[in-house]
Structure 1
Amino acid sequence: MSKTLQAIRGMNDILPGQTPVWRYLETSFARLLDQYGYSEIRLPILEFTELFARGIGEGTDVVDKEMYSFLDRNQESLTLRPEGTAGCVRAVLEHGLTGGGQVQKLWYAGPMFRYEKPQKGRYRQFHQMGVEVFNQPGPDIDAELIILTARLWKALGVSEAVSLQLNSLGSSEARARYRDALVAYLQQHFDQLDEDSQRRLTSNPLRILDSKNAQTQSLLVEAPTLFEYLDEESKAHFEGLKARLDAVGIAYEINPKLVRGLDYYGRTVFEWVTDKLGAQGTVCAGGRYDGLITQFGGKPTPGVGFAMGVERLVLLLETLDCVPKSLTPAPHAYLCAFGEPAEQAALKLAEELRNSLPNVRLLVNLGGGSFKSQFKKADKSGANYALILGEDELAKQVIGLKPLRNDEPQQLVAWADLAQQMADYLN
């Protein structure tokens, strides 16, 4: 017996009963970005592996353990994108979108891929909505990104369930000095570190700061802090960001252990977190990456952005019962037709009705059936009205209009008057 076909573990179907909330979330995000003057960019799912190795950083968990990479027929290494920033930076650099100091405010959405242990809110194919801004060096754009995400939480009704965490990673020179100090401290306690942290000590020591191991966290209490090594320019930038958030009334918590998992971040990093989803608490995260375009061979170009996980936000909306009830509205009418001539006329009538009333939700019965079976389908559809077209109605060029949600009697409406009659009902 052949093996039953099924989806790859951690790569899930999004079924018709689930897609309305996805579309609601994606539409809300796109509408918000339109309000703030951002433009959509659509990026390839596949990139050369080198892009992520150079951009995300050798030694990160993403590059070392989580990427889906393979050799194509030309023996070139390709990777399913694990995140969106590196591809967006590649695109603006390749097409000269930031040349001459051009400001670009971009957004994107789509699937990402990481080989992780699947669990609730964390999958191997997951979806992100992200924003990237180029050639805006000041703290004002950092503040705008945080402000617009706060506006999205309010629009979705989840503001009370999320909180903002901030940190500054300083300049690359400041991080290098801090890295040396942190490594020197942790080497004194090497045997007490968990296995992951021991490995990271030589590859990516800053990631030890957000270790989930309780014993490692207890060691970090006495460790040097990044704030002690921040350069003055980064301190001023961070103070400017905090002042702007204070001015608009956005609350935040300074988290000195917030470092993010990707090497390209510097200065501002932030996360919106929730305690409503168990272990998967981060719903949106980002920060500055002013040196990333230089890493890809471009001229120094300031950059900042964020990404949010669609699966986690959908889960949060459902957990908090914030999914609007009207996402899948019932059809306005269900058109029943009896006999071949009536069925042909029904299709023509339906298209005329859709032309006259672009917002009408109209279902046409397909596959024939008795009067009883078609009426049963009309009622099950949730439609407010049944439109009835049989031999007698066809001969007289009228149609029966029967309310399904009250006891009002059926009436006959001339074909020429149907659009106006329906418009009156819709209003």
Structure 2
Amino acid sequence: MQINIPRGTQDILPGEVEKWQYIEKKLKEICDKFQYNEIRTPIFEHTDLFLRSVGDTTDIVTKEMYTFEDRGNRSLTLRPEGTASVVRSFVENKMHGYASQPIKLYYLGPMFRYERPQAGRFRQFVQFGVEAIGSNDPAIDAEVIALAYTAYKSFGLSKLKVVINSLGDTESRVAHREALMAHFAPNIGEFCHDCQNRLEKNPMRILDCKKDREHPLMKTAPSILEYLNEESSRYFEKVKTYLAALNIPFEVDSNLVRGLDYYKHTAFEIMSEAEGFGAITTLCGGGRYNGLTEELGGPEAPGIGFAMSIERLLSALKVENIELPIEKTIDCYLVSLGDAAKDYTVGLLHTLRQAGLSAERDYLDRKIKGQFKAADRLHAKYVAVLGEDELKNNKINVKSLETGEQKEVELSELVAVLKDFTAY
């Protein structure tokens, strides 16, 4: 009986996994420059963490979480996003007491959501994100946006659009909430079941609905920007000023609403405008979440962050026809002729690897022509050919597959010769 991979998941095979490795390495290098340190949290958490942080009116909590009970009848959930776990760790490990503030962290790992699989979206997906916790300075909002923008640009993407909005502070959101309820309530029966439920619980999330996005009332809905108090307006103006200073082009979209309940003040998305990318253009999104640490039992510690899907990044690269600069080669392939030479290459191969060289040999008893083809498939820089006569004389022939040049060297000198050749 053949067992296939679960729907909404993927195998990342050799030839493709090198792209992931390149992306991961590049993202870590960028975080080092921005002084963000890596954090690794569990793949599953107590379900209550996401109920309290993400919000019980969100699609993630109501429809998409993989939740189960363990043997102790505790409700656990595979993490659907990264921020809640990072903030939980911040509180639990008392990072607010660290000397260096704010705490700047990044994470990279699998997340899980039960949603309809489609191009670039999976039920198990890999998310990269950053969180800066402990500062109310709008400059760090601009820095977080700059880090995300820098990451996408570093891979060669050019068809990008940065969209920002302010969700205001608590006072501003209360005023906006009342205006939204008054706007949608008379015709809420024309909206989907989810939006009808959101009207009382979180009317701002109606603006984020994919089903009713073309409803006329969406276009005339009160803008949060009209309800920002003086403090929220001043904060938003600072963010825009800093983004301009960083030469990051952006647009303000008053209907931009992030799908998680914990956001306050700055919200942003980076989108792909590449032709053929698809109806869902968002590459990454994030925002400020003042109050989340207190909700999880910690002290006041305002934060801001974003998350990006590696799968979405790969899709954007494909649409823009960008090839990552990945060169998979080995230093040397050992070609043997005769049983004695073949036996000798077992130890010789290990010697090359112990000396720090990448090397391979034949394991399928191929003829010499087949061994050279195998070396070519592996993009070997050199082949070292060992026959019975060479072995008796402690010699080996080294050939460059790029130039065709070859020379005979002492077996004992092979490591030094290859190291000298591969140094250039």
Which category of TM-score, normalised to the shorter sequence, fits these structures? over 0.9
SS at match of 1:15: coil
CA distance in 2, matches of 1:250, 1:288: 18
Whether the 8 Å contact between 1:121 and 1:280 is mirrored in structure 2 is no
Q: 1:278-293 counterparts in 2 under 5 A?
A: 278-293=278-293
Shift in Å, 1:213? 4.1
Give 1:419's aligned residue. 415
Instruction: Report 1:326-345 matches (<5 A).
Output: 326-339=325-338, 341-345=340-344
Task: Give 1:308's aligned residue.
Answer: 308
The equivalent of 2:223 in structure 1 is: 225
Shift of the alpha carbon at 1:342?
3.0
Separation (CA, whole Å) in 2 of partners of 1:201 and 1:131: 31
Output the CA distance in 1 between the equivalents of 2:280 and 2:339: 56
Residue 144 of structure 1 deviates from its aligned partner by 0.8
Corresponding position of 1:153: 152
Q: Assess if the C-alpha contact under 8 Å between 2:352 and 2:358 holds in 1.
A: no
CA deviation after TM superposition for structure 1 residue 249, in Å: 1.3
Q: Give per-residue Cα distances to partners, 1:240-271, cap 9 Å, x unaligned.
A: 11111111211100011111000000011110
Q: Which amino acid aligns with 1:330?
A: T
* Counterpart selection for 1:24 from 6, 22, 25: 22
1: distance between equivalents of 2:305 and 2:418? 48
CA distance in structure 1 between the aligned counterparts of 2:190 and 2:3, rounded to whole angstroms: 46
Q: Secondary structure at the match of 2:264?
A: coil
Matched, 1:260 2:258: yes
The CA deviation at 1:418 is 2.1
Aligned to 2:368: 371
Equivalent position SS for 2:12 = coil
Q: CA deviation at 1:221?
A: 2.5
Q: CA deviation at 1:71?
A: 0.9
1:122–1:280 contact (8 Å) kept in structure 2? no
Letter in 2 for 1:148: L
Q: Distance in 2 between matches of 1:344 and 1:302?
A: 65
> Match of 1:10, SS?
coil
Percent identity at matched positions?
42
Which segment drifts farther, 277-286 or 300-309? 277-286
Q: Which residue of 1 aligns with 2:239?
A: 241
Question: Contact 2:289–2:304 at 8 Å: present in 1 too?
Answer: yes
Q: Deviations over 1:120-154 (max 9, x none)?
A: 01111111001011111110111111112222222
Q: For residues 31 and 394 of structure 1, what CA distance do their matches in structure 2 show?
A: 46
Partners of 1:245 and 1:379 in 2: how far apart?
A: 49
Query: d(CA) in 2 for partners of 1:5 and 1:382?
Result: 34
Match of 2:401 among 399, 404, 413: 404
* Aligned position for 1:192: 190
**Equivalent residue, structure 2, for 1:174:** 172
Deviation of the 1:220 alpha carbon: 2.4
Bigger CA drift: 61-70 or 327-336?
327-336
The equivalent residue for 1:82 is 80
Q: Does 1:383 align with 2:412?
A: no
Closer/same/farther in 2, CA of residues 215 and 340 from structure 1, 3 Å limit: closer
Aligned partners of 1:342 and 1:390 also within 8 Å = yes
- Give the alignment's TM-score, normalised by structure 2: 0.94
User: Aligned-pair distance for 1:108?
Assistant: 0.5
**Cα offset, 1:215, TM superposition:** 6.5
Cα distance 1:100–1:393, how it changes in 2: closer, same or farther (>3 A)? closer
CA distance in 1, matches of 2:339, 2:233: 77
In the superposition, the TM-score normalised over structure 1's length comes to 0.93
The answer for unaligned runs of 5 or more in structure 2 is: none
Structure 1 residue 111 corresponds to structure 2 residue 107 = no
Q: Secondary structure at the match of 1:98?
A: helix
Is the 1:20–1:328 Cα contact (8 Å) retained in structure 2? no
Q: CA deviation at 1:115?
A: 0.6
SS at match of 1:208: helix
- Give how far 1:194 is off: 3.5
Distance 2:409 2:213 in 1: 77
Are the aligned partners of 1:25 and 1:314 in contact in 2 as well (CA < 8 Å)? no
Q: What's the CA shift for 1:223?
A: 2.2
User: How many Å separate the matches in 1 of 2:89 and 2:337?
Assistant: 56
- Residues 152-201 of structure 1 show CA distances to partners (whole Å, capped at 9, x for unaligned) of 2221110x211100011111232122112101110122233244322322
Q: In the aligned structure 1, how far is the partner of 2:339 from the partner of 2:305? A: 58
> For 2:156 and 2:213, how far apart are their aligned partners in 1?
37
